[in-house]
Structure 1
Amino acid sequence: MKQKGSHAVMSERKNVYLFYKQTEELEEKVQKIRKLGRKYDFSLVDDPKDANIIASFGGDGTFLQALQKTQFREDALYIGINDGDFGFYTDFTTEDTDRLELAMQSDMVEVLRYPILEVTIDGSKSFHCINELSLRSNIIKTFVIDVFVDDLYFETFRGDGLLVSTPTGSTAYNKSLGGAIVDPKLPSMQLTEMASVNNNQFRTLGSPLVLGKERELKLRIVQDGNDHPIIGVDNEAMGVRNSREISVKVSDRVIKTLRMKDNLFYHKLKRSFL
């Protein structure tokens, strides 16, 4: 699908909401960028519901918080501005205002559409995540989970927990668990084990499993003392108790972010890991 030119996309979006933790040092840098925005007729709004651009100042963690706090707006453009080096979600820094100004006035930027996960707990409470869903025991005891793919029983897992990640989240916790790195242009999710127990009684796949967009993953918790599992969504813990079944699928919704054309996903991989 042919995308709109980045300059056209930016010119159509002028209401900006800023998300950041206010500190004296960061505030000074943000003020400089606010001044730059006024030069190109961008307006600040106090309520994220009134914004069509949401800019986070901080690292990747701040970007994730901005998505959660603004409820994954599909009709807004998210921009990550790091207070330091580039991140996986932050293509700009507070130290390089020239790069930001270039993005405001040229075709050196493009809009990326990142797949996200839709998670439903016990058939009622639903939420989204762009990095990962983690499911772990809250007691010092192995966790038992029955795993279903498209309602077909797949395996019974026993171990510390399970992680379901997006392609962009594949470089985070998933990678440290030995999961594969997945190209963000592949709408998919990946199931990765945390310290699985494999013996004559329990047998799991023992390797990461990548599932396509049309699949649905169901994790049914075997209630043997783990009545209050720890459910992590991106970088936050969910306050959900007595969970029985968690359903995960790739959402039809996508998150639009802005990045420079000279900072491809593979540039980020090389910069971070090679």
Structure 2
Amino acid sequence: MTQMNITGRATRIAIIANNKYQSRRVASKLFAAFKDDKDFYLSKKNPDVVISIGGDGMLLSAFHMYKKELDRVRFVGVHTGHLGFYTDYRDFEVDKLIETLRCDKGEMISYPTLKVRVTLEDGRTITSRALNEATIKRIEKTMVADVVINNVKFERFRGDGLSVSTPTGSTAYNKSLGGAILHPTMEALQLTEISSINNRVYRTIGSSMIIPKKDHIEIIPKRQGMYTISVDNKTVHYKNVAKIEYWIGSKKIHFVASPFHTSFWERVKDAFIGDLDS
């Protein structure tokens, strides 16, 4: 746990909510609590703290709204559905959140992010950042691509596609692909295959791999065509991708450290196992 410098000025608060009725109710309560409080200033421009109201998808959207300001912004999530992996507060715990922010001293919990760079055959490059994961798939036919890890040509992949996830994203799409769950404070990537072809002729590793922070992943498609590339909840289509690169970014996402912070393993248990019989 680290701490940001807190000055004597009012804390700038941005409130981002989805369109659900309960989310709007929570947003209204927070607006009412902060609008006449001299210690806070409500503004979506240059905030110190971003409050996301909704679900994990809403927090992903808030992350991408402020991804160029990660060095100075902290996030906090209010969940208006089931317990989410990025939220410490439920919709009935708004008073706890208000008290946390009034007592806030700048403490934060930080998780790594993923940098993604797509290079097209005409030389253009597109760089983006992911909080959960990035995937590449070929639209028309089986994807054939070389996988290079830290300049070592590891395998020639054949299948539907490949996913690279962060530790925080390990419980999302990565888990549905059979990948491992990583604690979000671990600075590592996870490379997971999507429906790989394994038979007497074609072979891949066939399991997810944990890649350390210092290593760099390259995926080099071997066939021309249209590719679908997803970065978190945003999807784009590119024709004739030369390569796509992944590495742990230098910038992290920062969350407001809370006395009500839910243990990661408690979240995993609640999401996938539920209550255990005694």
* Contact 2:80–2:90 (CA under 8 A) maintained in structure 1: yes
State the secondary structure of the residue aligned to 1:144: strand
Instruction: Note if 1:66 corresponds to 2:65.
Output: no
Cα 1:46/1:183, change in 2 over 3 Å? closer
Partner of 2:208: 208
Post-superposition, which runs of at least 4 consecutive aligned residues in structure 1 deviate over 6 A?
10-13
Length-normalised TM-score, structure 2: 0.87
For the pair 1:21 / 2:18, whether they are aligned, the reply is yes
Does the 8 Å CA contact 2:189/2:212 hold for their aligned counterparts? yes
Q: What is the deviation of 1:106?
A: 4.0
SS at 1:51's partner residue?
A: coil
Distance (Å, rounded) in 2 between the aligned partners of 1:107 and 1:54:
14
Identical amino acids, percent of aligned pairs: 31
After TM superposition, give the deviation of residue 265 of structure 1 in Å. Answer: 0.8
Which is richer in strand? 2
Displacement of 1:12 after TM fit?
6.7
**Superposed displacement of residue 11, structure 1:** 7.3
The answer to whether the aligner puts 1:85 opposite 2:82 as a matched pair is yes
Query: What is the match of residue 131 of structure 1?
Result: 132
1:268 lines up with 2:264 in the alignment: no
Amino acid at match of 1:63: L
| Offset, 1:105 | 3.4
Instruction: Report the CA distance shift for 1:102/1:65 in structure 2 as closer, same or farther (over 3 A).
Output: same
Q: Give the drift of 1:214.
A: 0.5
Aligned-partner Cα distance in 1 for 2:48–2:105:
20
Closer, same or farther: CA 85–25 of 1 in aligned 2, 3 Å: closer
Is the Cα contact below 8 Å between 1:72 and 1:255 reproduced in 2? no
8 Å Cα contact 2:118/2:241 also seen in 1: yes
Write the mapping of 1:236-247 to structure 2, written as runs, cut at 5 A.
236-247=234-245
Mean Cα deviation higher: 73-82 or 166-175: 73-82
The one-character-per-residue Cα deviations of 1:51-70 (angstroms, maximum 9, x if unpaired) are: 12122111000100111122
Residue in 2 that maps onto 1:223: 223
Post-superposition shift, 1:256? 0.3
The structure-2 alpha-carbon separation of the partners of 1:111 and 1:178, relative to structure 1 and needing over 3 Å to count, comes to same
Q: CA deviation at 1:90?
A: 1.4
The CA RMSD measured in Å over matched residues stands at 2.3
Asked if the contact 1:109–1:261 (Cα under 8 Å) also holds between the matched residues in 2, the reply is no
Q: Paired residue for 2:163?
A: 163
Post-superposition CA distance 1:187-227 (Å, at most 9, x none): 00000011111123321111111000000000001115xx1
Indicate whether 1:112 and 2:113 are aligned. no
Deviations 1:24-68 (A, max 9, x none): 653333111112224462111143xx2121221110001001111
Instruction: Summarize the Cα distance change of 1:10–1:93 in structure 2 as closer, same or farther, 3 Å threshold.
Output: farther
Structure 2 letter corresponding to 1:69 = M
TM-superposed CA distance for 1:93, in Å, is: 2.6
Correspondence for 1:54:
50
Kept in 1, the 8 Å contact 2:17–2:24? The answer is no
Deviations along 1:135-164, whole A, 9 cap, x unmatched? 11212x211110001121000000111110
Query: What SS does structure 2 have at the residue aligned with 1:90?
Result: coil
Corresponding letter in the other structure for 1:185: T
- Residues in 2 aligned to 1:142 and 1:161: alpha-carbon distance in whole angstroms: 8
C-alpha displacement of 1:96: 1.6
Count of residues in Structure 1 that have an aligned counterpart in Structure 2: 266
Asked whether 1:32 is paired with 2:29, we answer yes
> What SS class does the counterpart of residue 164 from structure 2 fall into?
strand
**Structure 2 spans left out of the alignment, 5+ residues:** 274-278
Q: Deviations over 1:78-137 (max 9, x none)?
A: 121222333101112332222212312347995111100000111721110010001112
